[in-house]
Amino acid sequence: MKELIKEGLKRQLKIKYGTDIEHANKGEIFSSLSTALMETIIDDWNNTTDIYRERKQAFYLSAEYLMGRALGNNLISLKLYDEVKELLEELNVDLNAIEEAEEDAALGNGGLGRLAACFMDSAATMEIPLRGYGIRYSNGLFKQNFKNGFQYETADNWLTYGDPWSIRREKEKVIVHFNGMDVYAVPYDTPIIGYDSKNINTLRLWKCEPIESFDFNVFNSGRFDDSVLLKNKAEHISRVLYPNDDTREGKLLRLKQQYFLVSASIQDIIKEFENLHGTDYSELPKYVAIQLNDTHPVLGIPELIRILVDEKQVKIDKAIEIAEKIFAYTNHTILAEALEKWNVEFIEELFPRILEIIEEIDLRFIKELVEKGYSKEEINEFRIINDKQVRMANLAIHIGFAVNGVAKLHTDILKDIELHNWYELYPDKFQNKTNGITPRRWIRLCNKELSSFITELIGDESWVKDLSKLKTLEKYADDKKVLDRFMIIKKEKKVQLAKYIKETSGIDINPDSLFDIQVKRLHEYKRQLLNTLYVLDLYYRIKENPSLDIPKITFIYGAKAFPGYRRAKAIIKFTNDVANLIDNDPVVKDKIKVVFVENYRVSYAEKLFPAADISKQISTAGKEASGTGNMKFMLNGAPTFGTMDGANVEIVRESGEENNFIFGLTVEEIENIRGKYSSKEYYEKNKDIKRVVDSLIDGTFNDEGTGFYKELYKSLIEENDQYLLLADFEAFKLAEERVFKAYKDSEKWAKMCFMNTCNAGIFSSDRTILEYAKDIWSIKPIQNK
């Protein structure tokens, strides 16, 4: 295999770039090596596709896939990493440098997109017939950089060296119809390589292209810009993930993206069904299950019905019945803003036939509820169309045959509180599927040192496909030699992270300090602001008492704020200003440090998770559906500092509360104070809270006339602190004191970290995807022999 890859690499360098290994740059070597590896897997990929078609398949529809880099992960899955590393060393090339040359495929923003990526990996490894569908955003989300503490966004040109890990399927493109505009959806297929398996699954991403890319006559008349108007209009649809929807045009573009995704995907699914099984569409549920990843792809429901009724002459009763057996819906949040509602006028403007079908579903649903004795007020809560808006979650729950939450607490909240009326109506639809992470990327690739040690202790690498085997390591929990080696590896990962931050940002951090890390999407409910208010309070306490007995600490943040989300941007600016205040204070700067890493992404996460001493998971209880970052930290040996929220509940259950740091109000306690809570009372009675909150408006920091800090102050005091930062402030401080005390006892700390790794096995996405396959999709593994 080594010689085969070597010859392929040389051949591709010559064909693609007209160069050789001695003169090629890192990007050219990355692209050519990837293409050479693609040559070796094509047969297995095609064979897997063929055998999957013989039986029922699941199709995963998601607006996001936060895939990250492909080369290293694929080498791990092919079990070729060491062989290729050795090959490149013989050619005087550093594999790590080649990996760094690859741009992240930043086609996602947070946990939703990364979960979809982990599911793709696990389905291939567990040999589950699952195909992913998404959009091939040419510019992804955005690249983030900071200037004077403010976030700025630039285009993410992730296709600088092309995309050697995808194949354009020109012959399989379809036409998507909008009102007054037709476009092509062109599929690009990416192989998802199963670890230690010949199964190679497919992620199909659609690129939007015009039917006519250039109007020759318009160009010749001198209207040069107008000649490519349709081309630009089409390409905008697949240009950027989550375009800013502050404007009417932005909202319409988002809605176009969603319909583009589902129309192309449903057409593709039906076309394949017809080619294999004919035109008896009542047989569709026998071969097809479609999972809707949140509300973004819910338009797939009326689109399937439209195609069956308008194009395949299926009666609407039958078409709806078929849809009810095919679609399942994953709810990722209880936040109202994420349970999408679209103005009726927008849907009518873009695809009026889809609105007609939704109206028909709504009318039938109302009739069903009337017959069951529901009142008008109760029916209004269920209606799919209400207040001139289409409620996508309602459509998904009504038609879908299964509805799942993504952590036990989240599912319980859905059933008992947020969707209780739906649960009473459809109790058999609701399930829990606790999220998971792929062990391949999140330990085997990103923490090779710890992976090798685990393999040594267990005796083989079988744990990479069966993470539950980590539990057997508990027998070493009191073995000083094992714990010492475990912590030596942790220190090594901290040194590596410090080196990377210095190289990329010019910032020095002390690897001997406690790395307290909070990395995730920026949102008020995730409470990055609470963390920063705590850091500022700690700063003031050190100023008052320079001999304060605490370990040296580095607080590390990573997060992107949506371009139109002012308060999220304000939190970034505030955190960077606090970092600057500390850096310029000779009394404090050697004791604590704050670093907000730029452009947080999957490849950066792969360096952060293994280096963490503490995993900050501090969302307001009841707001975080699950979290997957908490699982990645746990797997790499970091105790959780968090609220009893999302999957934190299950993390604590598995690894023990004694090995984590839990603080703050619980869901039940928050329910009890609902309507009674007054943030002003906390503000006025607690001088530490007042001091840090007042810093937002007393001139301590300068937001340069943006009004950012007044807005944060307003959210905490005038709007009664919706996410209860001030209510949890003192508990947060006490939990940090527990961290400092535990960290001083090196043996106790090592055991806490080790016990987290030992008990992370249940959080494998391999387990999650097998549960989806068995409990929702009713499909079994199929092995490509």
Could you tell me the sign of the dihedral formed by the alpha carbons of 613, 616, 621, 622, in that order? negative
Q: Which residues pair with 328 in a beta bridge?
A: 291, 402
- Rounded distance between C-alpha atoms, residue 242 and residue 367, angstroms: 36
373: number of CA atoms within 13 Å, CB side? 0
Identify which of 122, 268, 250, 196 has the alpha carbon closest to the alpha carbon of residue 769. 122
**Is 770:125 a contact under the CB 8 Å cutoff?**
no
Cite the beta strand spans of 6-100 per DSSP E: 57-61, 65-68
Which residue in the list 306, 433, 493, 526 is annotated as catalytic? Answer: 526
Considering all CA atoms of the chain, what is the largest pairwise distance in Å, rounded to the nearest integer? 82
Residues 297, 303, 305, CA angle at the centre, nearest 5°?
130
- Number of Cβ within 10 Å of residue 154's Cβ equals 11
- Rounded alpha-carbon distances, angstroms, from residue 313 to 307, 318, 319, 363, 384: 9, 10, 10, 21, 25
Residues 157, 159, 165, CA angle at the centre, nearest 5°?
150
Active site residue 526: yes
Query: Which two three-digit tokens encode residue 541?
Result: 């306490």
**Is 19:34 a contact under the CB 8 Å cutoff?**
no
- Rounded distance between C-alpha atoms, residue 430 and residue 397, angstroms: 9
Could you tell me the sign of the dihedral formed by the alpha carbons of 375, 377, 378, 380, in that order? positive
- Number of Cβ within 10 Å of residue 276's Cβ equals 10
**Is 149:573 a contact under the CB 8 Å cutoff?**
yes
Residue keyed to tokens 């295999």? 1
Residue keyed to tokens 């990055």? 528
Residues in the chain: 785
**Is 632:657 a contact under the CB 8 Å cutoff?**
no
- Rounded alpha-carbon distances, angstroms, from residue 142 to 104, 108, 151, 154, 563: 11, 10, 11, 6, 9
Own/partner pairs for 510-513, CB < 8 Å, 24+ apart? Answer: 510/552, 510/554, 510/593, 512/552, 513/551, 513/552, 513/553, 513/554, 513/593
Which residue in the list 520, 573, 616, 767 is annotated as catalytic? Answer: 520
**Is 424:753 a contact under the CB 8 Å cutoff?**
no
- Rounded distance between C-alpha atoms, residue 128 and residue 780, angstroms: 6
Active site residue 569: no
Active site residue 628: yes
The DSSP 8-state label assigned to residue 34 in this structure reads H
Which residue in the list 333, 620, 628, 643 is annotated as catalytic? Answer: 628
Identify which of 141, 778, 120 has the alpha carbon closest to the alpha carbon of residue 441. 120
* 605, amino acid identity: A
- Rounded alpha-carbon distances, angstroms, from residue 321 to 286, 302, 318, 324: 13, 12, 5, 5
The dihedral over CA atoms of 499, 500, 506, 508, expressed in degrees to the nearest 10, equals: -40
Active site residue 332: yes
Break the chain down into helix, strand, coil percent, rounded to 5: 55, 15, 30
Which residue in the list 616, 632, 751, 767 is annotated as catalytic? Answer: 632
The DSSP 8-state label assigned to residue 620 in this structure reads P
Which residue in the list 521, 593, 607, 751 is annotated as catalytic? Answer: 521
Query: Which two three-digit tokens encode residue 426?
Result: 């459809």
Q: Which residues pair with 327 in a beta bridge?
A: 290
- Rounded alpha-carbon distances, angstroms, from residue 607 to 205, 217, 322, 497, 600: 27, 54, 46, 6, 11
Active site residue 640: no
Active site residue 520: yes
Pairing of β 592-597 and β 553-558: parallel
Q: Where in the sequence numbering do the catalytic residues fall?
A: 332, 520-521, 526, 628, 632
